[in-house]
Structure formats: C-alpha cells, structure tokens
Amino acid sequence: MSILDGLFLTGVVGAIVGWVASIIFRWPLLRCLASIAVGAFGSVIAGFILPQLGLPVSKGAIMGVITCAVGAVTSVSLLRIVLK
C-alpha cells in the first residue's frame, strides 16, 4: 500500500467517524459537513502525531482504524466545544 492509499483510507475512516458523530449529536447539514471534514483531518493528523508519542499505529488494519477513530473523535469533540 502506498502512502497516498494510506492517507486516502485514513481520511475516509475519519469522514465516516465524523458523519456518525453528526448523527449522534443531531447536527444540521452544515455542521454535518464540517464534522465530516474535521473528522477526516483529525484522523490524518493522528496518524502523524501518535507515532511521535511512541504509540504503535502500523501494527495492522485494526490499529490503523483505531488510530483514525481516536483522531477523528478528538477533533470532532473539539469542534463541538468550539461551536457550543
């Protein structure tokens, strides 16, 4: 898998987590789109930051999905705090 494939998959997982968060929080469409974008961005950023902290992120597909989810949930939660 190339780097671009990994970034694409990371962004897709983050977008899915952002979309689920917008359903859970019952946000309108604009906030839904924002949470999808922020979720994708957060998952990509987590893929870069977590290895710097010494946390394993490349130990298989499951760990990659967990990393994406952690980044997306963190960033969408921050978005929720800012928009409140």
pLDDT tens, per residue, the chain with 84 residues: 677 777 787 778 878 887 887 777 777 776 778 778 888 888 888 878 888 888 776 666 777 777 777 887 888 788 778 877
Q: Is 72 inside a domain boundary?
A: yes
pTM score > 0.75 for this model? no
pLDDT at 28: 77
Please indicate, yes or no, if residue 4 is contained in any of the structural domains: no
Residue 35, domain member (yes or no):
yes
8 vs 18: CA distance, rounded Å: 15
Residue 52 counted as domain residue:
yes
In a domain, 6, yes or no: no
**Alpha-carbon distance 38 to 58, whole Å?**
22
User: CA-CA distance, 32 to 20, in Å (whole number)?
Assistant: 9
Determine the pLDDT at residue 1. 64
Angle at which helix 3-24 crosses helix 29-52, to 10 degrees, equals: 130
Of the candidates 81, 64, 76, which has an alpha carbon nearest to the alpha carbon of residue 18? 76
